[in-house]
């Protein structure tokens, strides 16, 4: 799952919270691109094509910014005005962002009790976010619960300490990471990728074939360089042969993996290399292309319908 973070802060070098979140997230989240749009476009001349390209690649877009005048910094508003364009984000062909997750993550200077009907800011934070929420809906995006922390300003000797603000920034980052994890766990593509990593991790130690047959149907079609097999018995026959040929603790490396969906089944296109030693002590180096058809059952289990391996 790819994540894009759009950071909008006109003075990021002086920031505590937004700087911490936008730099530390790169160490903690895999497959993330962080774009500091004020640094990229200090003159507000936004490269729309570059921004579209970054958006198209992402599954989840996080907007990270300080709350300014009950809203976003001007650079982020300029970014939206330019980038959420006709036939991209809206309009008859404007479905380019459809289904992507939209997550607002911002830091609020004022305390939480100020953001209530009787507080000095009168309105709840969510009331100030309505234009963003509706923009996400118009772009057919998945608007997630916004993540924000209060009391994020440090004014030496007057308000907060630097440590308090840093702790709150850490908490905000943890909340972002928890949200990303739950999105990734719910993502079928990610589930299949995790399953395949586990499959090869089991294979590498050449354990009990019971693990594998659990994920096969009685009629699963198995086409391997060694021949054609079917179902549990077929897999067992093939696997017994492999165990007699190569030693345990071999190494599979997944070089590429592409998952696509059609008619409720997932097609997995894999390139895998195998480094192993045969029982007679010879080194074995193989590159194969694998095509799997996988089902995710209602109770969240993986069942392989078809498993084809071809040498490359």
Query: Is there binding between residue 172 and ligand FMN (CB under 6 A)?
Result: no
Q: Measure Cα distances from 59 to 2, 113, 190 in Å.
A: 5, 34, 12
Q: Cβ closer to ligand FMN: 68 or 143?
A: 68
Q: Kindly report the CA angle at 298 between 293 and 302, in degrees rounded to 5?
A: 35
Query: Is there binding between residue 90 and ligand FMN (CB under 6 A)?
Result: no
Binders of ligand FMN among residues 202 to 241 (CB under 6 A) are: none
Choose one: 8-16, 39-47, 286-294, 303-311; the region binding ligand FMN (CB under 6 A): 8-16
Query: Is there binding between residue 107 and ligand FMN (CB under 6 A)?
Result: yes
Q: How many alpha carbons fall within 13 Å on the CB side of residue 306?
A: 10
Q: Cβ closer to ligand FMN: 10 or 231?
A: 10
Choose one: 68-76, 207-215, 230-238, 239-247; the region binding ligand FMN (CB under 6 A): 68-76
Task: Mark 252-280 as b/e (b = at least 16 C-beta within 10 Å).
Answer: beeeebebeeeeebbebebebebebeeee
Query: Is there binding between residue 151 and ligand FMN (CB under 6 A)?
Result: no
Choose one: 39-47, 65-73, 216-224, 288-296; the region binding ligand FMN (CB under 6 A): 65-73
Query: Can you give the length of the chain in residues?
Result: 312
Query: Is there binding between residue 34 and ligand FMN (CB under 6 A)?
Result: no
Report DSSP letters for 155-200, one per residue.
BTTTB--HHHHHHHHHHHHHHHHHHHHHHHHH-HHHHHHHHHHHHH
Query: Is there binding between residue 110 and ligand FMN (CB under 6 A)?
Result: yes
**CB distance 284 to 278 below 8 Å:** yes
Please tell me the count of residues contacting ligand FMN according to CB under 6 A. 16
Query: Is there binding between residue 108 and ligand FMN (CB under 6 A)?
Result: yes
Q: Which residues bind ligand FMN (CB under 6 A)?
A: 9, 15-18, 66-70, 107-110, 152-153
């Amino acid at each position: 799952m790819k994540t894009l973070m759009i950071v909008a802060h006109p003075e990021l070098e002086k920031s505590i919270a937004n700087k911490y979140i936008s730099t530390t997230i790169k160490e903690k989240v895999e497959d993330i691109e962080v774009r500091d749009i004020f640094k990229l476009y200090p003159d507000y001349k936004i490269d729309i094509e570059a921004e579209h390209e970054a958006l198209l690649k992402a599954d989840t877009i996080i907007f990270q910014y300080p709350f300014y005048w009950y809203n976003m910094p001007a650079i982020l508003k300029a970014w939206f005005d330019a980038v959420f364009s006709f036939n991209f984000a809206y309009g008859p062909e404007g479905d380019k962002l459809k289904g992507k997750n939209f997550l607002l993550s911002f830091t609020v200077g004022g305390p939480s009790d100020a953001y209530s009907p009787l507080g000095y800011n009168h309105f709840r934070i969510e009331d100030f976010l309505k234009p963003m929420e509706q923009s996400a809906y118009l772009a057919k995006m998945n608007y997630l619960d916004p993540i924000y922390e209060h009391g994020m300003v440090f004014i030496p000797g007057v308000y907060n300490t630097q440590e308090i603000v840093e702790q709150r920034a850490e908490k905000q980052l943890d909340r972002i990471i928890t949200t990303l994890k739950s999105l990734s766990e719910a993502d079928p593509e990610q589930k299949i990728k995790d399953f395949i990593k586990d499959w090869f991790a089991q294979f590498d130690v050449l354990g009990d074939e019971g693990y594998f047959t659990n994920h096969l149907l009685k009629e699963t079609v198995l086409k391997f360089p060694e021949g054609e097999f079917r179902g549990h018995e077929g897999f067992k026959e093939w696997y017994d042969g492999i165990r007699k040929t190569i030693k345990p603790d071999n190494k599979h490396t997944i070089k590429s993996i592409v998952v696509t969906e059609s008619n409720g089944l997932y097609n997995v296109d894999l390139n895998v290399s195998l480094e192993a030693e045969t029982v007679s002590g010879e080194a074995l180096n193989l590159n194969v292309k694998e095509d799997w058809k996988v089902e995710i059952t209602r109770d969240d289990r993986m069942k392989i319908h078809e498993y084809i391996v071809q040498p490359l």
